[in-house]
Amino acid sequence: MLATIGAILVTSPEARAADPWALAVAQLAAQIEPLTPQGRQVTLAVLDFTDRDGVSSEFGRLAAARLILVLGQSLRLLPIERRSFSEYLKQLGLTRSDLLDPDNARRFAHEVGGLELLVVTGLSDLGDQVGLDARVVHIGTNESLGVTSVRVPKDTKVRRLLEAGRDGPGGTR
């Protein structure tokens, strides 16, 4: 279903007029959906997009929020809402980067109840573009179910968002 949504977004006149980063996130969602277990509903959590040093920015948080929104359009995927995600982390005394540890991820999944997948994200500065990467990880087995990536033109708006609201490694924002 998301692949169809992604194809519509890519070819529609509205998509060409939309923010390139929002379109790229929609494409990323369409690529993530087939990496998830098929034939049933799956609960997942999406980490903020961070750079190689684990630093998040307003761009990384907005891209993650948009990815959650688009993934939630699938009838199969049940992403945890960002506010709830942060509250669970706070209750457990964990940061987002702590979830990269399999034991912490399983503890978090137990607290959430039914959480099965973690979408581990990252962003790379590629000069005039930003790479958005996503790896789908099964929390119970720590198995990577697949990876995908898209590129976003680094226009003035993206540059501004990359610099705004920078939050150090492991932030709970």
Per-residue pLDDT tens for 75-113?
999 998 877 777 888 888 888 778 888 888 888 888 888
Contacts of residue 115, Cβ cutoff 8 Å, sequence gap at least 6: 43, 44, 45, 80, 108, 109, 139
Q: Cβ–Cβ contacts within 10 Å for residue 108, how many? A: 23
Q: Which tokens sit at 165?
A: 């609201």
pLDDT at 17: 52
Low-confidence ranges of the chain (pLDDT < 70): 1-18, 168-173
What is the C-alpha separation between 123 and 150, in angstroms, rounded?
10
Type and span of the H or E element at 123 = strand 115-125
pLDDT value, residue 168: 61
The predicted structure's pLDDT at residue 144 = 94
pTM of the model: 0.81
> Which SS3 state, helix, strand or coil, does residue 60 take?
helix
Give CA separation, 3 vs 29, 34, 68, 145, in Å.
8, 8, 15, 17
CATH superfamily of 2-163: ABC-type transport auxiliary lipoprotein component (3.40.50.10610)
